[in-house]
Amino acid sequence: MDKPQTFTAKVSSVTQMAGVFYVARFALAQPKEIQFQAGQYVIFKIGPPKVNHTLSIASPPAAQGSIEILQSVAPMGGGSKWLLACKPGDTVQFIGPLGKFTLQKENPRQKVFVATGCGLGPLRSMTLDYLGGGGTAPVTLWWGLRYETDVFWQEELAALAARYSNFHYTITLSKPTDGWQGSRGRVTAHVVGETPELTASEFYLCGSREMIVDTRRLLTQNGVPNEQIFTETFF
């Protein structure tokens, strides 16, 4: 595990992806590169001493000269206000990399990623890292959102599925309109019943505490060992 250090970076962009979801990109200034494992996070210094904001890295480790983060600004707390105030060229500082929510790359088991909302961030990093590195195990992504207007990155996900035959994804909405043609309901309603070789797979859960608790319970009830379930709670 890489030792955490302090980084200075410049804001490259802050982009509203959909609704409350924003992606920010930071170009590293000092040091100029970061070594991390997909799934890890950094802690931004956003105000007076000891006022910090933790965000998972959404970009793959191969992009060493910059990092991207995905955040929902719905809570509109200090971290949300800080992100919305960031402008291209602003200088920021963060500490990292940190965290043990990392991909078991060498394990040949199917990888099942389950996200709600901005929980997709670290799972995107894992997906890009694993597929881009030549990983051959099946990778399945479930992403739960509320409304059609919350959906983004669909072109990227579709391109990955077209390029890598071992990658499949499903976006499921809990509050879709009648016109929604995709999957419906919470991710917890789909994962167990629609995962082939359930007990031989490993699961990476990231997002709301409710989703993680419910999904873990359903998985263990259906025979998935705890050591094959990895979690990161966001809210």
Ordered domains of the chain (ranges, CATH): 5-98 (2.40.30.10), 111-233 (3.40.50.80)
Beta-carbon contacts of residue 121 (< 8 Å; ≥ 6 apart): 55, 56, 57, 58, 69, 70, 71, 206
Q: Which two tokens stand for residue 97?
A: 């990399």
CA atoms within 13 Å, Cβ hemisphere of 45: 14
Nearest to 61 by CA among 80, 83, 42, 45: 42
CB 143 within 8 A of CB 171: yes
CB 110 within 8 A of CB 200: yes
What is the predicted pLDDT for the residue at 51? 83
CB 218 within 8 A of CB 188: yes
CB 174 within 8 A of CB 146: yes
Q: Classify burial at 165, counting beta carbons within 10 Å of its beta carbon; exposed 0-12, middle 13-18, buried 19 or more.
A: exposed
Parts of the chain with a pLDDT under 70: 1-2
Beta-carbon contacts of residue 162 (< 8 Å; ≥ 6 apart): none
Beta-carbon contacts of residue 93 (< 8 Å; ≥ 6 apart): 6, 7, 8, 9, 44, 45
* Helix (H) / strand (E) containing 55: strand 52-56
Q: How many CB atoms lie within 10 A of CB 3?
A: 6
Question: C-alpha 107: how far from its chain's center?
Answer: 20
Looking at residue 89, the DSSP 8-state letter turns out to be T
Nearest to 22 by CA among 65, 64, 79, 66: 79
What is the predicted pLDDT for the residue at 2? 60
